[in-house]
Structure 1
């Protein structure tokens, strides 16, 4: 078993805790309440100072998700939806592929509309599905295949740091875990997609936490099974007690650590502000002498990485990821590791009793997921360990595809950024979806 000194890991954890900087300015509330399809918002712009620094890195390093999409020649839309508890969530849409554009503007897919919603992982954002060449990034590949592609962003990440009443400077803003993602955010985003597209049933793809949210959502809203034709889980995460990534060593002490960080006022993890993105992208550049730090942090959280990611593109990746979240989201995952249960957030006996009606948090049932599920997993995944994935698949009622990714060294983040992900994941993924259309 890999041993990492706890003191060293604590330093890394605290390094990941971001500041409580003010939110990036976005459109006024009136625009957020009445989004204009096809408009490009300035929300969460990551444009940074320093033309020389920008020119020294990949030209896509500091582009927002809509800008990344447009830079590749695809149409891009920004949509906003307000969750039932007031969080303003930003979604990004690629309504069609480049070959479906008429006069470079209007989409013409021949009347056939296949809608897919893709949800990101922990500390990630919509950018993760468009941060590669068009023949390698999942968002572009699916758009070119005729899909109307929607990319979600959960509350608290760089694109969804707004609330109708609360400010990110207030601790109350960060009082959420992935329970709230599943209970409030995902249903609101999916309903918005259905309303805008006029398509009542869509496909769903999740990576890592994007699958966790889906599984939990069906416990709170089982009727949403009727909105989903088929679900694909890349590196699905429900059970996690076999997770090998070194950060798992914190799990037995999670509640102590959480109380300590709360007392110190650390409510947000890895705020991806302009200064953070500048530092991360420069440190992770191919010629940087500090690049080993990027590799170390990646190893502590996600385990070993392969050589399938373009090293010249690492500054782009680290300028966008981590994209920020609440401390409680990370705490929730560590609680799941410690308890060996797929369960709701443990607030402690008093608050549990008030929220759940019991002193212990309820356990989620994977039996509530009725839609067909396709699973892609890899042997070298230290987050979604094969043993945990197997247990998850065994409890899902309708797994119709259970596919191991062939390369034995394919890692957790290779599902997002690997140059060979198209051949080993995305092509068979789309074949699986096609079998249900």
Structure 2
């Protein structure tokens, strides 16, 4: 069995390298030039520097129990000692979307009057991405312990939100013909209204990663009343402005508008699947199973993530790696992915480009318009990493400039050069960073409606940015 797994995983790595080489070759043909310079040259970032450390770590923890790895999200939340319930919205175009509500736990029992917070995942992810960390290191649980009524979103198409009034997500490609604009205008307002209705609060807080932030930005533009329902937003590696990204996968912008794009959509049914196929499940070859073995976990599976997101072995929790692989990805429509690639090419936070003819019908112009954030009125805090090859410091600076100056309340770079796009979810020190730098754990309004803000540094040398802490009054 070990030989089969080793051959399979090695094949996956080799195929990935070959595909990237082909992409680079296509890139050299000179088609589809980008309007913004890349922050850095694209590269496949792999390393074996921590292989011995990984092997030792896995060996030392091989007897640790990992029952949570095999639980679904609801089961795991309950097992960790939190009260969780399921809530569903139905959009006018027939999509059901599920939210998980963590209303309390041992440290903060369920009580009325708690401040509500909507935690929104990124593209091709789901609510489970917020409970990847072991123990109490998860942001979702830490927020619940800090007396917040926590709501975890699962956007349409994810494993928990695949129902529809008449379309089958597994067999109908039409189900997957949706984009950011549908989620931001049809689903997000319903989610916010549901939370306000269930909790009796007047506003919510919003935390997001990657495309989850892009969804909110688009919603604030197209549904202006949302601005009055959100107290403050906290963006972790926010999407929307991606013009200088240097992730190797962005080289697929060469496929935009070509027959290859249509072929990919047809073969995949419009869906980028994060669920293992029935055959792989039967053979026991799901990604998390493959990566349980130390000889695949250390050097093959980790380098698969490094090749895509950038190598940060110092922050990789190798003991938890199979759980990371299992929970990091879920389903997503190729349309949202190609929308992102369009924005890379155009170097603008623009609406989906359907092509000149349909653009005229949808927008009244041959080119898709940009999202104008000038009317945005939500206090916003932006956090990003220097090592993020999807959303670079240059892109974050452009986002900051696009939001009205008076509503950019914080703009912070993690002081660790390798901190990448997914480190906000999986890094060993992510929760220490949230607790000492995020500020959201202490976020409450004073009685007079004003904020009391403190700035300072802690003794933790890993990260050295100012602390914003809201005084609890």
TM-score bracket, shorter-length normalisation: 0.7 to 0.9
Q: Is 1:383 paired with 2:390? A: yes
- Offset of 1:5 from its aligned partner? 9.4
Q: How does 1:311-390 map to 2 (within 5 A)?
A: 311-390=318-397
In structure 2, distance between residues paired with 1:88 and 1:299: 34
2:6 maps to: none
What is the deviation of 1:249? 1.2
State the alpha-carbon separation in 2 of the partners of residues 132 and 329 from structure 1. 27
3-state DSSP of counterpart to 1:81: strand
The answer as to whether partners of 2:113 and 2:201 remain within 8 angstroms in 1 is no
Maintained 8 Å contact 2:124/2:330: yes
Partner of residue 140, structure 2? 139
- Contact 2:118–2:150 at 8 Å: present in 1 too? yes
2:297–2:321 contact (8 Å) kept in structure 1: no
Which of 266, 273, 276 is 1:270 aligned to? 273
Q: 1:90 and 2:91 equivalent? A: no
Tell whether 2:433 aligns with 1:424. yes
Work out the CA distance in 1 between the residues paired with 2:207 and 2:255.
33
| Distance verdict in 2 for CA 1:300–1:259, change over 3 Å | farther
Q: Is the 8 Å Cα contact of residues 239 and 388 (structure 1) preserved in structure 2?
A: yes
In 1, Cα distance between the equivalents of 2:269 and 2:179?
A: 15
Partner of 2:20: 9
Whether the 8 Å contact between 1:233 and 1:375 is mirrored in structure 2 is yes
Give the match for residue 163 of structure 1. Answer: 164
Partner Cα separation in structure 2 for residue 422 and residue 366 of structure 1: 30
Deviations 1:133-157 (A, max 9, x none): 3431000000000000000011111
Q: Say whether residues 1:80 and 2:82 are aligned partners.
A: no
Report Cα offsets for 1:346-395 as digits up to 9, x if no partner: 11122222222222112111223211101111111111211100110111
In 1, Cα distance between equivalents of 2:150 and 2:16 = 43
The SS at the match of 1:402 is strand
Q: TM-score, normalised by structure 2?
A: 0.76
Q: Take 1:116 and 1:170, find their aligned partners in 2: how far apart are those partners? A: 34
Whole-Å Cα distance in 2 between the matches of residues 349 and 291 of structure 1?
A: 48
Cα distance change, pair 10–331 in 1 and its aligned pair in 2 (3 A): farther
1:249 counterpart residue number = 251
Deviation of residue 230 (structure 1)? 0.4
Could you tell me which residue of structure 1 aligns to residue 201 of structure 2?
A: 199
CA shift in 2, pair 1:192/1:273, >3 Å: farther
SS at match of 1:60: helix
User: Aligned pairs, how many?
Assistant: 385
Aligned with 2:166: secondary structure? coil
Describe how 1:58-73 pairs up with structure 2 within 5 A.
58-73=66-81
Q: What does 1:176-195 align with in structure 2 at a 5 Å threshold?
A: 176-195=178-197
Distance in 1 between residues matched to 2:375 and 2:325, nearest whole Å: 36
Distance change >3 Å, CA 165–CA 187, structure 1 → 2: same
Give ranges in structure 1 of 5+ residues lacking alignment.
Answer: 13-54, 102-106
Change (3 A) 1:100 1:6: closer
Which residue of 2 is the match for residue 433 of structure 1? 443
Bigger Cα displacement from structure 2, 421-430 vs 80-89: 421-430
CA deviations on 1:199-251 (whole Å, 9 max, x unpaired) are: 12010001111111111111110110000000000111221111121111112
Gaps of 5+ in 2: 1-14, 24-62, 445-450, 452-469
| Residue aligning to 1:412 | 421
1:403 to 401, 412, 436: 412
CA RMSD in angstroms comes to: 2.5
Q: Answer whether contact 1:118 1:152 (CA < 8 A) is retained.
A: yes
Over 3 Å counting, the alpha-carbon distance change for 1:309 and 1:85 in structure 2 is same
Indicate how the Cα distance of structure 1 residues 6 and 217 shifts in structure 2: closer, same or farther if over 3 A, else same: farther
In 2 relative to 1, CA 167–431 (structure 1 residues): closer, same or farther, beyond 3 Å?
closer
Cα offsets for 1:381-417 (capped at 9, x unmatched): 1112111001101111110111121222222111112
Moved more, 258-267 or 217-226: 258-267
Once the two structures are superposed, residues 179-209 of structure 1 have per-residue CA deviations (whole angstroms, 9 ceiling, x without a partner) of 2121212111111111111112010001111
Q: Which has the larger radius of gyration?
A: 2
User: 2:448: which partner in 1?
Assistant: none
Structure 1 residues 330, 411: closer, same or farther in 2, change over 3 A? same
Tell me whether 294-303 or 391-400 shows the greater mean CA deviation.
294-303
**What is the match of residue 100 of structure 1?**
108
